[in-house]
């Protein structure tokens, strides 16, 4: 994931990897299933709010449907507010001038995105589109600014999330520069998987791993031959997650 996204989109519940890449983090073990709805009070950043504050906040939220391959916003668009994924999956991605698309992150229920862009009144530095059907709340920038002014704890929470995301961004940049294509693809598979299944295309995996579709297909076929996964169109079943973690660890 790129630094621009780390400071433009926040998510402490996203996949972080401390120490060796073969270890599962607490976030990976506890990440909510995309099919489950997240309660507003459990969403990151908003966990610090009191029930009374949340009650006043709810009428200000605008709920938007999340649909596969449909955009919530595009890179360069005006940041209208902070987004909170209620159910489903959303991916953040960037497109280069040459048309190459890189998936920066896949988000699950309770995770936020667009926070810093909304705070600074900037444009979105990346695009967001649905992966799995669900819904997301959008908290208008004006309401977000009022909350920050009334409760300093939110500002501290934003800083904590941004710090975490910067750390994750540095790790991903290092992995993109140093790790092999099989290691990056194994990691992308593990990040996308829920309940032993990754509902993701080979193209999306290639974008997440920073490699070509051709390379992704070749590596995934090797994983299948080795009994690590079973592939169908748009669905990959992980048969040996521990072996994939070893591959991801280099």
Query: What's the pLDDT tens digit per position in 10-60?
Result: 333 333 333 333 333 333 334 566 667 788 889 888 888 999 999 999 999
Q: DSSP per residue over 193-225, as a string?
A: -BTTEE---HHHHHHHHTS-HHHHHHHHHHHHH
- Asked whether residue 191 falls in the same domain as residue 154, the answer is no
CATH number of the domain within which 42 lies = 2.60.120.10
> For residue 227, is pLDDT > 90?
yes
CA dist., res. 142 & res. 119, Å (int): 9
- Asked whether residue 114 falls in the same domain as residue 233, the answer is no
95 torsion bin: left (phi>0), alpha (psi -120 to 50), beta (else): beta
Maximum mean pLDDT: which of 28-32, 36-40, 77-81, 173-177? 77-81
pLDDT given for residue 70 in this prediction: 94
Q: Burial, 124: exposed, middle or buried (Cβ in 10 Å; 0-12, 13-18, 19+)?
A: buried
> For residue 233, is pLDDT > 80?
no
Among candidates 5, 245, 18, which has minimal Cα distance to 105?
5
Average pLDDT, the chain: 81
- Asked whether residue 93 falls in the same domain as residue 24, the answer is yes
- In degrees and rounded to multiples of 5, residue 98 shows phi and psi of -85, -5
CATH number of the domain within which 190 lies = 1.10.10.10
Residues 6+ apart with CB under 8 A from 118: 79, 80, 81, 82, 139, 141, 144
What is the Rg, in whole angstroms, of the alpha carbon atoms belonging to the chain? 18
Q: What's the domain count of the chain?
A: 2
In sequence order, the β-bridge partners of residue 128 are 73, 92
- Asked whether residue 137 falls in the same domain as residue 216, the answer is no
Does the pTM surpass 0.85? The reply is no
6 torsion bin: left (phi>0), alpha (psi -120 to 50), beta (else): alpha
pLDDT given for residue 250 in this prediction: 64
Alpha helices (H) along 58-125: 115-120
CB 194: neighbour CB atoms within 10 A? 16
pLDDT given for residue 20 in this prediction: 32
- Asked whether residue 160 falls in the same domain as residue 211, the answer is no
Q: What is the residue range of 237's domain?
A: 181-248
- Asked whether residue 168 falls in the same domain as residue 193, the answer is no
> For residue 235, is pLDDT > 70?
yes
- Asked whether residue 93 falls in the same domain as residue 152, the answer is yes
- Asked whether residue 27 falls in the same domain as residue 95, the answer is yes
- Asked whether residue 122 falls in the same domain as residue 152, the answer is yes
More confident residue, 22 or 131: 131
Mean per-residue pLDDT for 114-130?
89
């Amino acid at each position: 994931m790129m630094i621009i996204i780390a400071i433009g989109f926040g998510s402490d519940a996203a996949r972080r990897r401390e120490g060796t890449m073969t270890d599962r983090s607490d976030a990976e073990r506890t990440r909510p299933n995309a099919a489950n709805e997240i309660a507003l009070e459990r969403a990151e950043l908003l966990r610090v709010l009191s029930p009374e504050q949340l009650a006043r906040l709810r009428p200000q939220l605008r709920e938007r449907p999340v649909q596969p391959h449909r955009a919530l916003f595009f890179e360069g668009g005006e940041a209208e507010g902070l987004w909170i994924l209620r159910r489903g999956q959303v991916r953040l991605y960037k497109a280069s001038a040459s048309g190459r698309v890189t998936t920066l992150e896949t988000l699950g229920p309770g995770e936020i995105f667009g926070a810093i862009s909304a705070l600074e009144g900037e444009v979105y530095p990346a695009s967001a589109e649905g992966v799995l059907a669900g819904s997301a709340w959008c908290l208008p920038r004006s309401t977000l600014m009022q909350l920050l002014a009334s409760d300093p704890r939110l500002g501290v929470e934003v800083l904590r999330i941004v710090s975490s995301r910067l750390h994750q961004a540095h790790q991903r940049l290092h992995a993109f520069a140093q790790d092999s294509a099989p290691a990056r693809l194994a990691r992308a598979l593990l990040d996308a998987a829920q309940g032993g299944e990754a509902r993701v295309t080979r193209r999306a995996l290639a974008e997440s791993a920073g490699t070509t579709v051709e390379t992704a297909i070749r590596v995934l076929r090797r994983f299948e031959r080795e009994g690590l996964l079973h592939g169908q169109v748009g669905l990959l079943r992980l048969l040996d997650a521990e072996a994939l973690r070893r591959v991801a660890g280099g």
